[in-house]
Chains A and B, each alone.
Chain A
């Protein structure tokens, strides 16, 4: 049985698509080296629309006649107060632009005015080399380094130096334990259970928070924070698996890129990337459940614990609650051997 892999890789080669949500301009070329915070593409997000029914306002019967009175063409800019259309007579009547903008279209005697929008800037999000340009849409960046996939992110991205909190990773991070030495750092900690801790991290401020787990009642608060938050194990009080602890500990004080964007529907995970001056190879994205594989238990009991797969049991295994499922015997880091449904295991590699 093959299963997608959760990556915890000391050195790998990654390839990242960076795409604009709407058509725009790519600002770099193939072969360019970019840093995570560089703006690599930009687009224009349209503003609001104002519809001016010239035919009705000027009391013109035919659409064609209304069009003849319109002084602007699609694409042209207008200032507030500009005369857009005029009809002459004993008492000339005019239609003025109610706001600054651009004529987006003229349709059935109506002017569609688009007010100024906003610029969208797309950051590289990862330090590396641009290997492909997708015209008007985005680019592909490739890089080498350590990669760790998490399970939940608050949708934000960021970069900073990785610092491990002085609070033991088994303990809860609180406002009191967020000291000034963590300012402007990406902080690795164990567990967060209070909204006040997230607020305190924002006030410090930190560049990001990587935590093993968080209580689920903080989801909405975490989404509102303007710095990235990534959970490595999930919701509840879950320990950080030993493989991730080792990998992050060996990379502390290095720059780390946090990508808190993810898509559960597409099984796309948030991740941490630590650029390294070495060449990695792309890791396989799926694996078989085989003896000796490092796995992680995803849901209780034993959630968040890494283990070694001893063997996959044949057929279906009956559990204490009456459930029958394909299962494997795994040895936890405590050496305890337990039977876990295969559906509750992730291969880590």
Chain B
């Protein structure tokens, strides 16, 4: 007789993406958790299926074939796993599929509680449909009508530091109460209260007549201090509760997962936060997940996470990118000449067929150019939102097929151009969406991400050193000597405006010695005397990006294209 096992050995992670559904298998091998395989099929949350189950079934069938394991019996998932090897012990599920949640935020001071509420809302796939604070001078009834018109799925109320304002918070609650009074019962939004805890009882009393109010610790307990993590955890649960109503099949799967189903951005952020706790704490760990509709940026240092989800991506999300961007900001990244009209037409066509892939040199150039622009927009918005200059990262974890399915050199160059990091940075590609899965798996067993992250499921692109120099293009800015494991050495004259790929084999170590020649800052967050680095080779070796910051592209098309080609050739893009 087949009996269920007691402990979690195997774990299946499912991600329902806008375009693809993935299934990833993790299991114990020789006492260590390992990533064993992943499958990817088209998602089925939209027409004609309107149910995620079909996509999950296909993904699991494919994974069964790839791994020679049986998860399904009579088309049903065997959970928990049995001693005969059938089934799996734990299941986690994350999702990005579905439209962004409409969120309205209400707070007191524009740049304090309202800003924290905005940051909270932007940490999940959302559209900010209304924001009301003390500085909003619209009439009371106009604010009520604005909320009614916005039809939010969720209202976030913040405001009042601990032992701070109470009367203003009460007014905000009254405003929401009025809005609810005028809203049909079947359209009540969810309410999340993240303000002064002294007002918790009052707010739940006033609004509890209409809906259950979710209460979380104050996101702004003091003017100087912001605490988003507990609110983000509850927000993730609230988002899933709302998604359960719209995403066919999610509720059924949510009932059998070993941890609550969660938005992908939430678990992606959780993994990045974890990495920041075990990492060199001088720099932020940066996670970039570039999807078809959304781009997630997660930056964390010493366990403090800044998470942002942008409505911009390389599929349907292109529409938003094209609204925010001059076409010339995209075409300037192309080393071949393609008329702007054709670029615009192609990108809008891609919004209609977000799952399509670039099949020619020209269409690939367009997609890689827009990828750079999305990265640049995302990091710029993130910096402004968190008031964080965020220029140095270690490492950068990169998900999303536009980056992970490109050639390693092309992926690295897109990341360098889009993010423009300063100092030493290691870039790691996540081709299977493992970061999101591990963030979800951490809720089941914290050992899983610890052990799996150390395996070779992620691709180390390489370490990049990006010094800052005021020197003119072509001027020598430093001498570089590299010592390989074999004992061999090589010397390089590093000139401003150039990219250099040093051939350090993947996994091999080398020591780099730098001798700056003039006014050069190698890494703003390293000790000023640091001139020597140990590097581990990636698939792009080790790269010196001496192009300066911000990157200055020539205005002349011909010169610009020549320079871009030169950089592409330097990293084998």
Q: Contact residues of A with B, CB < 8 Å?
A: 1-5, 22-23, 46, 48-51, 104-105, 107-108, 110, 112, 114, 151-152, 215-217, 219, 234-237, 264-269, 285-286, 298-301, 303, 319-325, 340-341, 343-344
Contact = CB atoms under 8 A, between A and B. Distances in A.
B348 A219 contact: yes
B48 A286 contact: yes
Contacts of A301: 359-360
B348 A320 contact: no
B8 interface: no
A151 B293 CA distance: 18
Nearest to B410: A322
Given A104-B182, A112-B182, A299-B349, A320 B48 contact: no
Given A235-B344, A300-B349, 20 more contacts: A2-B58, A49-B144, A51-B144, A112-B181, A215-B344, A216-B347, A216-B349, A217-B341, A235-B346, A236-B345, A236-B346, A265-B98, A265-B99, A298-B352, A300-B363, A321-B361, A323-B364, A341-B359, A343-B356, A344-B353
A264 B351 contact: yes
A288 B47 CA distance: 16
B359 A319 contact: yes
A86 B342 CA distance: 68
B532 interface: no
Contacts, number: 142
Given A265-B98, A341-B356, A343-B356, A299 B363 contact: yes
A282 B344 CA distance: 37
Contacts of A50: 141
B357 A341 contact: yes
B144 A340 contact: no
B178 A112 contact: yes
10 contacts: A48-B141, A49-B148, A49-B182, A151-B353, A219-B348, A235-B349, A264-B316, A299-B350, A321-B358, A322-B407
A1 to B, nearest CB: 8
B359 A321 contact: yes
Contacts of A152: 352
A105 B181 contact: yes
Nearest to B316: A264
Contact of A285 (B47, B145, B344): B47
B355 interface: yes
A215 B360 contact: no
A300 B341 CA distance: 14
Q: Top 6 A-B pairs ranked by shortest CB distance?
A: A285-B48, A236-B345, A216-B348, A267-B46, A267-B47, A321-B364
B569 interface: no
A324 B359 CA distance: 9
Contact of A51 (B50, B178, B354): B178
Interface string B460-474: 000000000000000
Contacts of A265: 18, 46, 98-99, 293, 316
B184 A108 contact: no
A303 B349 contact: yes
B249 to A, nearest CB: 14
A303 B293 CA distance: 22
